[in-house]
Structure 1
């Protein structure tokens, strides 16, 4: 496993030793999220492309040399990562790109990209000798953490807004988590979880606070690079809520460049729901930090008006010469339907928001015909059936009679 060289604040640049601080920079407070940095020169000696070619571990742990888990016995057996990257000629032709790749992260154990972070988070909790782990979530991070905590034998406390989709709440309860439905939005759930974690000494799985969780999320980007033969795509589109997933992509390509695996970073494009877009607003208006808003979108997984990882998210876009775009709920629902019918990938609303953003930019001629595009689908559509039903027509109801069927389908 990787030896953490230092933790570095993304705002002030102060550095800390591992375990010198728990989660964020003491000088910058909650906004001072930390980067986990390694001794890249040392890692280069034993972590190479050739080693990966020989590896038979087709999970995210094939990259264990740049993942911050101290004891390998704390890694749980659930197989996370190495999800499919589909080459969609249909989308490339329709939207005028050289290549369009769809990364289907809904294929992870609890059906979302968040499993990558939870796998690392639970292992780190065990490294610290904790028996309880907790987080706030709009749904996916919660179900993910609950699943991995259950396998590890850890107690889990989950704080979610009372509006969380029923399917996600059911998933939490099935895994045995103690579920706290908070009357309010994600920010209210986050604040209550933070207070409880501090009071009871639980391990904090909140990705916007815990720097090691982004290390798990970066494995999505590591896989994209490897699956494309270590030639980074020109752009990667991904939905943005708290800012952690796009931060993970940035860290993936930062690490790969530092190790000499790639020679350039892809442009990262963050896509937010129009009703919940504080990071987009800060990017477009060149603000030094985000202004919190009240979220209003059916894409519950990115309905975050007070994003905690905003600094890393803005850096990810700005330092890769990337961009941000917003899409309406109507555009998200249309994207759910189109992506499923043209690629076979069924994503939840937040899961397809990256694709909705790609469509919008392509139609506005922002995508070049020579560009290779990757789009990350962050969660499976079965997590929010109610939204999927809004995107499609009602089924045909008939008596078991062929003549009635003919009347209904042949007119």
Structure 2
């Protein structure tokens, strides 16, 4: 269902949502998740009147410099700083402003001019997904929602559960069969209700979206909720600020749904439009060869992504139907970047050598970016003159053997199974007929 408009969107009339496919506009206060004009297939992108924000002025005139969190860039976000939601979440669950480590030893080994690692494991739940979740939680609070839900292979669910716990929102997380027990334990320890869907990540996405529509829950699903990319873009704004308001030559990003890649692109576009950087870095997306939907589309020169088998053991990027593939491909092309694929054996080897030579311990999905570096240098895509940022999206501790404890409920990939668990008593809207309603084609 469509969330109700924000009660007070004052101060946000310089922002609009625009469909990535049909280019239709909608007010930022009337978040509709995906575009309804093109049958839910278009993702919404935030359009900013940069002149009104302060384009051309020094960053210190625009940023909230006392905020050492992602809210430093609040004037470029779709959630008003004066709203109760942002006030509550930014004081109770501090995400962002993560370190940018120099990795000189690794740069020399690889033959790069300079290498930095943006370490998103320093976020509260240990992953970049905290950025998306805090913005979504703030928006949910402003819209008066009391239940928030998402599909997740682990990291997004943990980030959402932590942020929701901090502000007192009820949280439901749908995870696919085979999600690491460590991640299920973390989510459930935050007090979220964890539903283990009898299916893969794409099944969890479909079921969670249907449940949100049926029971009126706020839906945080990656890409489907445009706040997710907007939260993630703050990582790019931090990178260029931490580099002294200069752009690196390339940013290397692991890719599953494609939403992190899109978020970084949005942040770099903001920095360029504001006059804070003078050029765009190349965005290099890295997928597992065993889960290659975006890479396959790139190699074929396609404008959009078609489903592909997803069998990588790097579960955070094990996505068969990427939710933000269309925009991810466009971001790579617009920055003269590329998409590459690496084998699982390369990914798991990179976990070890990246940790041993940089001091940053990545989870396997995050190590995919590092795994691509030797081949990128060998092919001449990167070299001794290049300044490169590698994104570490999550802590390696998240892939460690499970701690005991936690609770999760197995559930068939069907709304009736969710209803039977008894967690839907706070339903705001919907009817039994919705249980059989076809899913929107997004």
* TM > 0.5 fold call: yes
1:69 matched to which residue of 2?
79
1:353 matched to which residue of 2?
368
Mapped to 2, the partners of 1:245 and 1:4 lie a distance apart of 24
Could you give the per-residue CA deviations for residues 115-158 of structure 1, whole angstroms, max 9, x where no partner exists?
00011010000011100000101110001000001111000110
1:30 is paired with a residue whose SS is coil
2:132 matched to which residue of 1?
117
2:333 matched to which residue of 1?
318
Query: Which residue of the other structure, out of 168, 193, 200, is the alignment partner of 1:153?
Result: 168
Query: Which residue of the other structure, out of 276, 280, 303, is the alignment partner of 1:265?
Result: 280
**TM-score (normalised: structure 2):** 0.85
2:419 matched to which residue of 1?
none
Mapped to 1, the partners of 2:34 and 2:339 lie a distance apart of 26
2:302 is paired with a residue whose SS is coil
- Equivalent pair of 1:238/1:270 in contact (CA under 8 Å): yes
- Equivalent pair of 1:332/1:356 in contact (CA under 8 Å): yes
Mapped to 2, the partners of 1:46 and 1:55 lie a distance apart of 17
Which ranges in structure 2 are unaligned for 5 or more consecutive residues? 1-10, 403-442
Q: CA deviation at 1:168?
A: 0.3
- The size of the alignment, in residue pairs, is 387
Which ranges in structure 1 are unaligned for 5 or more consecutive residues? 388-411
1:210 matched to which residue of 2?
225
Q: CA deviation at 1:230?
A: 1.0
Mapped to 1, the partners of 2:14 and 2:214 lie a distance apart of 28
**TM-score (normalised: structure 1):** 0.91
1:221 matched to which residue of 2?
236
Mapped to 1, the partners of 2:238 and 2:12 lie a distance apart of 18
2:40 is paired with a residue whose SS is helix
Q: CA deviation at 1:54?
A: 8.2
Could you give the per-residue CA deviations for residues 43-88 of structure 1, whole angstroms, max 9, x where no partner exists?
0179732337882321111111111212142434222111111111
1:401 matched to which residue of 2?
none
1:242 matched to which residue of 2?
257
Could you give the per-residue CA deviations for residues 95-114 of structure 1, whole angstroms, max 9, x where no partner exists?
11111111110110000000
CA RMSD of aligned residues (A): 1.7
- Equivalent pair of 1:225/1:231 in contact (CA under 8 Å): yes
- Equivalent pair of 2:63/2:75 in contact (CA under 8 Å): no
Higher mean alpha-carbon deviation, 29-38 vs 153-162, is at 29-38
Q: CA deviation at 1:365?
A: 2.9
- Equivalent pair of 1:4/1:36 in contact (CA under 8 Å): no
Could you give the per-residue CA deviations for residues 304-330 of structure 1, whole angstroms, max 9, x where no partner exists?
101111111111101000011001110
Q: CA deviation at 1:27?
A: 2.3
2:160 is paired with a residue whose SS is helix
1:290 matches 2:300: no
